[in-house]
């Protein structure tokens, strides 16, 4: 249809009016400026220029009838000018809404002044019978009007997004909504919420630079008592959504995700299914970025990998797999760095589910000192045992066994003597039976004691070997040139498990404390590998 008609910008008038069907939360100015953007997009595409300002009629105070619309009255006068060939509106209903008298008047005026009605969807030439029919039907359209309006609205929203505006009703976490002026036009956009933005930066930093997974990031944020965007705890889904939110790089996104009506429990429910890749368009936004493109890309690359498999994860904590919280969860090493990589505070060892079990964390250096002590004490202990204690106890045990062996031998000889006396020396049977019963019982008792003594013989501990092993681990732990993985292997040769517990410190109040924390003791239960 467009091909049949060409216009010059000064041959066209533009008419803008808010109607009842527009979003009631928007002001007249907001609606008109959206519509103006749609129409100027059309003008530039079809006439290479926008309609001149003096040809634009903005109905700010509007009634339903033409008589109540001062700008409309001016416009209808203007179309009597033969130079004017068309009136541009977002849709025909902007000219009149179904009032038959008004509609008839408009049709007559446009028809006899040879003025076309131009909408982005279609151009109506009212000399043409078919177009006239269409136009009348459009004006009278009632129920379908809102659907049509939504289409227009979406066009307006897409246009707004393509201009870098943020059109969503809820700002992404890290931003607040705001309005900036672009010429005369109010543009909705985002401004950084510094408090939230620092959390966003922390999430990207932990994820990309500190190899922390989603759940760990959530636990970490909960520990710091950072309020999540919704609910009481951070959820991995929220973190994942944030890690892929392009708004943080200063972009805006137009989502093709449509509202779909589905039937659930015999009720129609509107849902917005998650969009697939490629279902959206990305434009440069008017707002400031929180995350650099490089960091954002690194997060995307990382998300693409399979997190569960972790084939190349390097051990960064020498105590990995050794220290467990009293609640049963592993204790993890946490680093606290600023986005530029410098240390914000000393690394800490912390239960993976701390916000649930409420165990106090401790500085990593504190636990290293304690492990160091454990190794040193064990070595000293082994040296003592190597010298005397244990060798002695093994000897005693051996002596006891040989004594029992001698005793059993004696009892066997005793029994043989009894048989000799009974058969060769004529011992009375009643006496032999009594003596024999007694010696057999004694033999049984000694045999049982011997069996038990042999079974409980301590397995010889090679204390020299243990001393060497613990010394290796101790030296490695204090040697900065040895990597965490090697330290971890050496420590695991010495220690089976360390169970950690500590009451959560509380902040002290009152003069002189200046908000320092109580120093609750760290309890370690150590199971050595022997
Ligand atoms: Zn715990």
State in Å: Cα 213 to ligand 1 middle: 18
State in Å: Cα 354 to ligand 1 middle: 5
State in Å: Cα 326 to ligand 1 middle: 6
Supply the pLDDT for residue 24: 72
Supply the pLDDT for residue 528: 87
State in Å: Cα 211 to ligand 1 middle: 21
Supply the pLDDT for residue 306: 40
Please report which confidence band the pLDDT of residue 194 belongs to, taking 50, 70 and 90 as the band edges. Answer: very high
**Measured torsion, CA atoms of residues 162, 163, 168, 172, in degrees rounded to the nearest 10:** 100
State in Å: Cα 499 to ligand 1 middle: 10
Q: Where are the alpha helices (DSSP H) in 250-363?
A: 293-304, 354-357
Q: If you average pLDDT over residues 232-257, what whole number do you get?
A: 85
Supply the pLDDT for residue 148: 55
State in Å: Cα 242 to ligand 1 middle: 27
pLDDT digit string, tens, across residues 451-507: 888 877 766 667 788 888 899 999 999 988 888 888 988 898 899 899 999 888 777
Q: If you average pLDDT over residues 347-372, what whole number do you get?
A: 88
State in Å: Cα 501 to ligand 1 middle: 8
E strand residue ranges, 222-259: 251-255
pLDDT digit string, tens, across residues 79-122: 988 899 999 998 888 888 656 677 888 888 898 888 999 988 88
State in Å: Cα 358 to ligand 1 middle: 7
Would you give the distance in Å from CA 230 to the centre of its chain? 12
Residue 86 token pair: 């068309």
pLDDT top residue among 355 and 244: 244
Q: How would DSSP label each residue in 428-480? A: -HHHHHHHHHHHHHHHHHHHHHHHHHHHTPPPPP-HHHHHHHHHHHHHHHT-T
Hey, CA dihedral for 434, 439, 444, 446, is it positive or negative? positive
State in Å: Cα 322 to ligand 1 middle: 14
Supply the pLDDT for residue 278: 47
State in Å: Cα 205 to ligand 1 middle: 25
- Determine which helix (DSSP H) or strand (DSSP E) holds 344, and give its type and residue range: strand 343-351
Q: Where are the alpha helices (DSSP H) in 289-340?
A: 293-304
Supply the pLDDT for residue 291: 93
Is there a contact between 255 and 279 (Cβ–Cβ < 8 Å)? Answer: yes
Give the pairing type, strands 86-88 and 12-17. parallel
Supply the pLDDT for residue 421: 85
State in Å: Cα 222 to ligand 1 middle: 14
Rounded distance between C-alpha atoms, residue 27 and residue 186, angstroms: 11
Rounded distance between C-alpha atoms, residue 269 and residue 261, angstroms: 5
State in Å: Cα 361 to ligand 1 middle: 9
Domains of the chain: 2-149 (3.40.50.1390), 163-313 (3.90.1750.20), 317-399+446-530 (no CATH)
Supply the pLDDT for residue 199: 94
Identify the weakest region by mean pLDDT among 10-24, 151-165, 336-350, 397-411: 151-165
Is there a contact between 252 and 165 (Cβ–Cβ < 8 Å)? Answer: yes
State in Å: Cα 502 to ligand 1 middle: 10
State in Å: Cα 61 to ligand 1 middle: 65
State in Å: Cα 328 to ligand 1 middle: 6
Residue 404 token pair: 């029992």
State in Å: Cα 493 to ligand 1 middle: 25
Q: If you average pLDDT over residues 431-437, what whole number do you get?
A: 89
State in Å: Cα 219 to ligand 1 middle: 12
State in Å: Cα 330 to ligand 1 middle: 8
Question: Is a pLDDT exceeding 80 seen at residue 56?
Answer: yes
Identify the weakest region by mean pLDDT among 4-8, 91-95, 313-317, 451-455: 313-317
Supply the pLDDT for residue 302: 83
pLDDT digit string, tens, across residues 215-236: 899 999 998 889 999 888 898 8
Which of 49, 70, 51 is CA-nearest to residue 59?
A: 70
**Measured torsion, CA atoms of residues 18, 22, 24, 29, in degrees rounded to the nearest 10:** -40
State in Å: Cα 359 to ligand 1 middle: 6
State in Å: Cα 263 to ligand 1 middle: 44
State in Å: Cα 392 to ligand 1 middle: 42
State in Å: Cα 498 to ligand 1 middle: 13
State in Å: Cα 497 to ligand 1 middle: 15
Decide: pTM greater than 0.75.
Answer: no
**Measured torsion, CA atoms of residues 422, 423, 425, 428, in degrees rounded to the nearest 10:** 40
What lies within 8 Å, CB to CB, of 452 at 6+ separation is none
Question: Is a pLDDT exceeding 70 seen at residue 525?
Answer: yes
Is there a contact between 515 and 480 (Cβ–Cβ < 8 Å)? Answer: no
Is there a contact between 476 and 482 (Cβ–Cβ < 8 Å)? Answer: yes
Q: If you average pLDDT over residues 230-249, what whole number do you get?
A: 90
Question: Is a pLDDT exceeding 50 seen at residue 59?
Answer: yes
Supply the pLDDT for residue 275: 46
State in Å: Cα 156 to ligand 1 middle: 53
Residue 203 token pair: 């999430």
Supply the pLDDT for residue 195: 92
Average predicted confidence (pLDDT) for the chain: 82
State in Å: Cα 357 to ligand 1 middle: 5
Question: Is a pLDDT exceeding 50 seen at residue 308?
Answer: no
Hey, CA dihedral for 370, 374, 379, 385, is it positive or negative? positive
State in Å: Cα 209 to ligand 1 middle: 25
Question: Is a pLDDT exceeding 70 seen at residue 401?
Answer: yes
State in Å: Cα 360 to ligand 1 middle: 9
pLDDT digit string, tens, across residues 377-386: 889 888 887 7
State in Å: Cα 243 to ligand 1 middle: 27
State in Å: Cα 350 to ligand 1 middle: 8
Matching residue, tokens 């943020």: 166
State in Å: Cα 185 to ligand 1 middle: 55
Supply the pLDDT for residue 266: 47
Would you give the distance in Å from CA 357 to the centre of its chain? 21
State in Å: Cα 196 to ligand 1 middle: 28
State in Å: Cα 503 to ligand 1 middle: 11
Rounded distance between C-alpha atoms, residue 97 and residue 104, angstroms: 12
State in Å: Cα 365 to ligand 1 middle: 19
State in Å: Cα 329 to ligand 1 middle: 5
Supply the pLDDT for residue 146: 46
- Name beta bridge partners: 501: 523
Supply the pLDDT for residue 310: 37
Supply the pLDDT for residue 197: 95
Identify the weakest region by mean pLDDT among 129-138, 264-273, 325-334: 264-273
Question: Is a pLDDT exceeding 90 seen at residue 509?
Answer: no
Is there a contact between 129 and 122 (Cβ–Cβ < 8 Å)? Answer: no
- Name beta bridge partners: 12: 86
State in Å: Cα 406 to ligand 1 middle: 57
Identify the weakest region by mean pLDDT among 179-188, 219-228, 269-278, 337-346: 269-278
Would you give the distance in Å from CA 383 to the centre of its chain? 51
Question: Is a pLDDT exceeding 70 seen at residue 34?
Answer: yes
State in Å: Cα 312 to ligand 1 middle: 27
- Determine which helix (DSSP H) or strand (DSSP E) holds 264, and give its type and residue range: strand 260-264
Supply the pLDDT for residue 153: 58
Question: Is a pLDDT exceeding 60 seen at residue 145?
Answer: no
Supply the pLDDT for residue 277: 47
Rounded distance between C-alpha atoms, residue 256 and residue 155, angstroms: 11
Question: Is a pLDDT exceeding 60 seen at residue 208?
Answer: yes
């Amino acid at each position: 249809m467009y091909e049949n008609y060409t216009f010059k910008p000064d041959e066209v008038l533009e008419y803008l009016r808010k109607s009842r069907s527009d979003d009631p939360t928007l002001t007249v100015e907001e609606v008109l400026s959206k519509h103006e953007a749609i129409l100027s997009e059309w003008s530039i595409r079809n006439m290479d220029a926008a309609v001149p300002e003096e040809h634009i009629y903005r109905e700010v105070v509007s009634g339903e009838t033409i008589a109540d619309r001062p700008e409309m009255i001016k416009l209808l006068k203007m179309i009597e000018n033969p130079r004017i060939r068309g009136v541009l509106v977002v849709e025909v209903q902007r000219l009149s809404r179904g009032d038959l008298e008004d509609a008839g008047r408009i049709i007559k005026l446009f028809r006899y002044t040879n003025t076309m009605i131009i909408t982005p969807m279609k151009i109506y030439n009212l000399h043409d019978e078919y177009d006239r029919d269409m136009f009348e039907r459009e004006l009278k359209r009632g129920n379908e009007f809102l659907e049509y309006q939504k289409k227009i609205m979406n066009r307006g929203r897409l246009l707004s997004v393509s201009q870098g505006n943020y059109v969503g009703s809820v700002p992404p976490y890290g931003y607040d909504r705001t309005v900036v002026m672009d010429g005369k036009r109010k543009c909705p956009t985002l401004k950084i919420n510094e408090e939230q933005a620092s959390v966003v930066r922390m999430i990207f930093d932990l994820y990309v630079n500190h190899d922390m997974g989603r759940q760990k990031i959530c636990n970490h944020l909960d520990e710091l008592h950072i309020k999540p965007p919704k609910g009481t705890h951070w959820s991995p889904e929220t973190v994942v959504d944030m890690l892929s939110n392009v708004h943080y790089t200063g972009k805006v996104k137009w989502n093709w995700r449509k509202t779909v009506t589905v039937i659930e429990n015999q009720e129609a429910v509107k849902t917005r299914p998650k969009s697939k890749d490629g279902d959206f368009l990305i434009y440069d936004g008017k707002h400031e970025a929180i995350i650099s493109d490089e960091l954002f890309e690194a997060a995307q690359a990382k998300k693409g990998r399979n997190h569960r498999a972790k084939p190349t994860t390097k051990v960064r904590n020498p105590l990995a797999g050794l220290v467990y919280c009293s609640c049963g969860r592993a204790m993890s090493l946490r680093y606290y760095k600023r986005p530029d990589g410098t240390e914000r505070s000393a690394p800490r060892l912390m239960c993976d589910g701390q916000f649930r079990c409420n165990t106090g964390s401790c500085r990593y250096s504190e636990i290293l000192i304690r492990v160091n002590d454990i190794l040193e004490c064990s070595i000293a202990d082994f040296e003592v045992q190597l010298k005397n204690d244990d060798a002695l106890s093994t000897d005693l045990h051996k002596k006891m066994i040989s004594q029992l062996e001698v005793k059993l031998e004696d009892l066997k000889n005793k029994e043989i003597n009894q048989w000799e006396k009974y058969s060769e020396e004529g011992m009375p049977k009643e006496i032999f039976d009594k003596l024999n019963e007694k010696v057999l019982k004694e033999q049984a008792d000694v045999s049982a004691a011997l069996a038990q003594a042999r079974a409980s013989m301590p397995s010889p501990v090679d204390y020299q070997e243990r001393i060497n092993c613990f010394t290796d681990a101790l030296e490695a732990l204090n040697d900065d040139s040895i990597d965490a993985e090697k330290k971890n292997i050496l420590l695991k040769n010495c220690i089976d498990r360390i169970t950690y517990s500590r009451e959560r410190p509380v902040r002290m109040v009152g003069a002189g404390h200046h908000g320092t924390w109580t120093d609750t003791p760290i309890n370690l239960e150590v199971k050595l590998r022997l």
